[in-house]
A and B are shown apart, each in its own frame.
Chain A
Amino acid sequence: MNIEALIASSIDGLMLGFVFGLMAMGLTLIFGVMKVINLGHGPFIVMGMFAILVMSQLGINPYLGLVIVVLLGLLTGIVVYFVAVHRVINAPELTTLLATFSVNMILIGALTIIFSTSPRGLDLELPSFRTGAITVLGTRFVAVLVAVGVTIALYSFLYRTRTGKSIRAVANNRGAAELMGINSSWILALSFGIGTLLAMISGGLLATLFSFTVLSGGGLEVKSFVIVVLGGLGNPTGALFGGIIIGLLESITTIFIPVSWVPVFEFVVFVLILLFRPNGLFGAR
């Protein structure tokens, strides 16, 4: 075993894990607040990727473009909530699952028509830091900073603002929150919007790291589910840690086992968590 390769892979995995965590936070937030499993999560991630691509082609710095992605994500999420989810929010879970699956299909179809399924990438280069065999890529470093910044902003919003507290109240007990005068429809729409913007920001950050296609969302959505289950359904902090664990797991195991076995290993962990810690490592509160 090469210790330098292990350290280098751990750093790569740790940094990527923050972005994975951010990606899964969107999914878990929506589930936590409204008990909806959002199957449109993958296309939202892809929308973030293509939003950054388009802005980059228009000459806007990808990182500045993330600010626009925040607004775009929020707006998209609220619109999708009222169009596809609001009417079935109290229906059995299968109905909301089908509703968000429809959103998934519509978005994938529309994005394919607009962008085709050709691989895309950003021509973005940032200085990297190198010492021995360890290289810290500038793009990953910035992605970590953004992911941490967004997480802090989200927690500040949820715990320090009146609207944030309303979201938590609706998540805890929607009926009681409504009795306290909280407009739950608006809060649910806002939560869906925040979940969507988190997915789109993570997509935007992933676009600065890898090439992507319209179909990239499928794998990332599955990965988000693994992370969410690992961290505990409905627990954003758990999702962040789950993301870091998956990032580390993927990169460190690559050193010890053939690369193609990594997904197998990942899903074995997923099944074991479901069997022995169904509430996830960090348990939903």
Chain B
Amino acid sequence: MFSKMTRLLWIGIVLVTLLALAACAPAPTPAPTAAPPTAAPKPAATTAPVATAAPQATTAPAPTAAPKAAEPKKLLLGFTASQTGAQQVASKKQIEGLQLWLDDVKKAGGIKLKDGTTYLPEIKFYDDESKTDRVQTLYTKLINEDKADFLLSPYSSTLVKAAAVVSEQNDKVMITAGAADDATMEQGFKKTFQLYTPASRYLTGAADALKKFVPTAKKVAIIYEKDSFSTSVANALQPYAKSIGFEVVLFEGYDTGTTDFAPFINKITAANPDAILGGGHFADGTTFSKQLFEKKVPIQFVAILVAPPEPTFKDIGDAALGIIGPSQWEPQVTFSAESAKAANLPYYGPSNKAFTDAYLAKYKESPSYHSAGGYAQGLVLQKAIEDADSVDPAKIVAALDKMNLMTFYGVIKFSTDAKTHGKQQAHGMVYMQWQKDSAGKLVTQIVWPLEAKSADAVLRK
């Protein structure tokens, strides 16, 4: 009897403790993340904006006339980030870039309209765990419960595709970065705008580079991760490679999450290609390159997606050497006020050097193109608000439709065609390669297009 009562007592204590803990829990799941991901945790999304500071010429776009005593209005930007799961690495970089933009806007005193109204952007995001079902739920929450004014995108084509459906259904403006899938932007969207060069143009430049760097090359193997983005790239690359005279000796996809590429590499070697083009995302691209190196595959030209531009790609050591990667942006790009003038385009935002230096100072590592895309997301929205002189969504859409300018990230122009509305038209890829500098250290160089190159391409041995 005593034992039974003691047990019941214990159960009671445990239940009460659990209830108490549940009552003390700060918020229902999913917990919103309002603070910058790399900074020390901060409590809430609605933290007071940083006090207005003097605009900084090196970082912020030219601010308009400063209002006096006008209380800045809050502008809530909502999105999801992959803080866990497969897209974690690239997503983190994207948010870091966005956070840097936010810092710059705050330093500049916010986004100012001609009537003196100032908007101070704040961000609110949730962890989507790299899952599409989470994205759809969380974007609905951002729109309906958090009342986000504008939406930014998660990272990766698959997740953006899911987010765009929700944002369009709810008539919200969304600027996307980290998404290059063509099909997503060919659905007649009204308020979704894409910053990345579409997937169909991701590796076509690599095929051109192959023709130039290895004139004897005739046969290519196209291998790709079987996801939306990589499949888009491969499907566009195959006809292009054929059209410029290459024979595609292998065209094959592999599952997301593949870790052992050894048998696949044997198959590729058996097809005897002169080059390998394709890939997928960071984890598979890194493993593939490493195993290619370990198996001493004597293919001179290897261009793969996503992984090479990441600074941590060099962790695989000499296996990174010679690997080429398409990049939306690299620290060595030459977009500047001068090149904008030469192209008869307006230039907007910080210089490339200012962005790179500020990022390096804040995060102690070089920015990747994901970081630049994150910054550009905010920058483009800021420019649209300034051009529209309003935060009215219809006016913002009109401003984005008219936009044709150069930033440190490249040229930005969106399609206004009904079917492909919002699809990126002007931004182009650069191709970087891992090489060794004079000290034997692994560094990245831009090797294509030739007019943007920072070094000559080196063929793999």
Contacts and interface: CB of A to CB of B under 8 A. Distances in A.
A166 interface: no
Nearest to A258: B252
A259 B253 contact: yes
Given A5-B269, A128-B296, A263-B255, A121 B263 contact: no
Nearest to A137: B294
Binding site of B, secondary structure by majority: helix, strand, loop or mixed?
Answer: helix
A265 B294 CA distance: 28
A215 B89 CA distance: 14
Given A135-B296, A260-B254, A118 B260 contact: no
A116 B262 CA distance: 27
B267 interface: yes
A18 interface: no
Interface stretch (A6-14, A170-178, A180-188): A6-14
Contacts of A130: 296
B316 interface: yes
Contacts of A263: 255
B286 interface: yes
A8 B294 CA distance: 14
A196 interface: no
Interface string B84-128: 111011000000000000000000000000000000000000000
B264 interface: yes
Given A119-B286, A211-B290, A260-B226, A16 B270 contact: no
A69 B76 CA distance: 49
Interface string B228-252: 0000000000000000000000001
Contacts of A56: none
B315 interface: yes
B315 to A, nearest CB: 7
B187 to A, nearest CB: 26
A259 B283 CA distance: 17
Interface residues of B, number: 32
A250 B283 contact: no
B41 interface: no
B326 to A, nearest CB: 20
Contact of A258 (B88, B253, B257): B253
Contacts of A259: 252-255, 258, 263-264, 267
B324 to A, nearest CB: 20
A46 B164 CA distance: 35
A133 B269 contact: yes
Interface in B307-322: 315-317
A53 B97 CA distance: 29
B294 A2 contact: no
Given A5-B269, A128-B294, A130-B296, A260 B263 contact: no
Nearest to A116: B88
A4 interface: yes
A123 B293 CA distance: 13
B286 A210 contact: no
Interface in A242-264: 250-252, 254-255, 258-260, 263
Given A121-B286, A260-B254, A12 B84 contact: no
B315 A123 contact: yes
Contacts of B86: 117
Contacts of B282: 119
A219 B258 CA distance: 10
B306 to A, nearest CB: 12
Contacts of B295: 128, 135, 137
Given A118-B89, A123-B315, A137-B294, A9 B263 contact: yes
A13 B266 CA distance: 11
Contacts of A255: 263, 266-267, 270
A44 interface: no
A15 to B, nearest CB: 9
A211 B259 contact: yes
Contacts of A215: 85
A210 B291 CA distance: 8
B283 A13 contact: no
A254 B89 contact: no
Given A5-B270, A117-B85, A118-B88, 16 more contacts: A2-B270, A5-B267, A8-B266, A9-B263, A9-B267, A12-B262, A12-B263, A112-B84, A119-B283, A135-B294, A210-B259, A211-B286, A258-B253, A259-B253, A259-B264, A260-B252
Interface of B: 84-86, 88-89, 226, 252-255, 257-260, 262-264, 266-267, 269-270, 282-283, 286-287, 290, 294-296, 315-317
The 10 closest A-B pairs by CB, nearest first: A5-B270, A2-B270, A254-B263, A251-B263, A12-B262, A119-B283, A210-B259, A9-B263, A8-B266, A5-B266
15 contacts: A8-B266, A12-B260, A12-B262, A12-B263, A12-B266, A119-B282, A119-B286, A121-B286, A121-B287, A130-B296, A133-B266, A254-B267, A255-B263, A255-B266, A259-B258
